[in-house]
Amino acid sequence: MLIEENSGAKFRLIQEVTRRDDNMLNIGLLCEIAGVSRSGYYNWLKSEGARATRDEADRRDYELILSAFRHRGYDKGARGIYMRLLH
């Protein structure tokens, strides 16, 4: 996952540079400089909506698990969380 986050940072940087008004570099050259593939960059752009949806679902799941973990004022283990989520 560290590689994915690192690539995401590179893709965001390429996107920032291409949005500037005085950009003289093309996408292919920027991807080459960053060490990522051009197709990977375009795939990253295309999947932005899916990433946002997945991140939102992960956040909701995290909140649900956290509330099950803190239920009744004391911490629980994996089995206790699982049982709380079933009910």
Q: What is the pLDDT along the chain (87 residues), one digit of tens a residue?
A: 344 457 788 888 888 888 876 777 788 888 898 899 999 999 998 998 998 999 999 999 999 998 888 888 777 788 888 888 887
Segments forming the whole domain that contains residue 28: 1-46
> What is the pLDDT, as a whole number, of residue 62?
94
63 shares its domain with 76: yes
5 shares its domain with 42: yes
> What is the pLDDT, as a whole number, of residue 3?
45
11 shares its domain with 27: yes
**Angstrom distance (rounded) from CA 82 to CA 34:** 43
41 shares its domain with 54: no
Number of domains in the chain: 2
Q: Select from 46, 62, 77 the last residue of a domain.
A: 46
What does the angle CA 44 – CA 48 – CA 53 come to, to the nearest 5 degrees? Answer: 135
> What is the pLDDT, as a whole number, of residue 5?
53
**Angstrom distance (rounded) from CA 59 to CA 82:** 18
